Amino acid sequence: MDTVMKGLVGALAAIAPVAARLQRSRCASTAVGFDRAEMDSEAKMEFKPYGLHIMVGSGAPSTWPSNWDTTDTGKAFVAAAKGVKSDVKVKVTACDAPVGHVFVFPASVRYEFQSNPTSTDATRILRVHASKEANEGTLLPKCSPVGPMIFVCSHAARDARCGACGPVLVNTFREEIASLRLAADVFACSHIGGHKYAGNAIIFAARDRQSRGDWFGYVKPDRGHGAAVWTAKTSKT
């Protein structure tokens, strides 16, 4: 009997840390993950309107500071947005595309630089797409059109909810798109607003080569298939 009891005590001792980790995981999920109480609420997302969205390839989300605008590349684009004369409101966001890749919406195009874009590069992009100074385009790498794209906020350093939900959704979207054999790209991105709506995503469907983006909040992994199908359908309409 003593041997049996010792065995049970040993087993419980081994299980206890696992149970504690599972409990912490559940708490984290209800606090910042997909089991939050508000996840089934209607997402009444309100954002200040803007006319140009620039997504800048900036490596892994784990390397982004809380305020990406304070990085050298972030500063370059923020300064360009303020310095170029235009009535167009500009939003600049980091994404985990390769460093040097810059996506511009609603034009739905990509520029590929050899390294991080400089302040001069940023200014030229803004002059082409915000001020419509076409001659500046001759000084940039040739841009190429992009297909449908999904960006999911995964900025953990900015908000724990985005850090918990974002990476899971990125993987879910990529798996669903691959299974449906869709020509679409999925990237993690930095803060886009609306932390409380995490997981939140922007889908640029590239309709007729112009897409201002459709925003979604409270996105769960089990809704990934529907979002992927929606992307495919809207990109063709």
Domain extents in the chain: 52-145, 149-234
| Residue in the structure block whose two tokens are 């006319």 | 51
Would you say 204 and 108 are in contact if contact means Cβ atoms under 8 Å apart? yes
Regarding beta strands 52-57 and 101-105, do their DSSP bridges make them parallel or antiparallel, or are they unpaired?
antiparallel
What CA dihedral angle connects 28, 215, 105 and 190, to 10 degrees? -10
Cα–Cα nearest to 206, from 91, 108, 101: 108
| Residue listed under structure tokens 């982004």 | 64
Q: Which CATH superfamily, name and number, covers 149-234?
A: Glutaredoxin (3.40.30.10)
Nearest partner of 45 among 198, 227, 228, judged by Cα = 198
Rounded CA-CA distance 178/30 in Å is 30
Of 212, 186, 181, whose CA–CA distance to 199 is shortest? 186
Q: Report CA dihedral (180, 184, 187, 189) to the nearest 10 degrees.
A: -120
Q: One digit per residue, pLDDT tens: the chain, 237 residues?
A: 343 333 333 332 333 343 344 344 544 687 888 889 888 887 666 667 788 999 999 999 999 999 999 999 999 999 999 999 888 899 999 999 999 999 999 999 999 999 999 999 999 999 999 887 767 767 899 999 998 899 999 999 999 999 999 999 999 989 888 888 888 899 999 998 777 888 889 989 866 656 678 888 888 888 666 666 666 566 654
**Same fold: 52-145 with 149-234:** yes
Q: Does the domain at residues 52-145 carry the CATH identifier 3.40.390? A: no
Which amino acid, 58? S
pTM of the model: 0.82
Residues 6+ apart with CB under 8 A from 169: 152, 154, 199, 201, 219, 221, 224
pLDDT of residue 28: 61
Cα 81 off chain centre by:
21
Strands 52-57 and 90-95: parallel
CA atoms in the 13 A half-sphere facing the CB of 220? 13
Total length of the chain: 237
The pLDDT value recorded for residue 12 is 29
How many Cβ atoms are within 10 Å of 206's Cβ, its own excluded?
A: 24
pLDDT of amino acid 86: 87
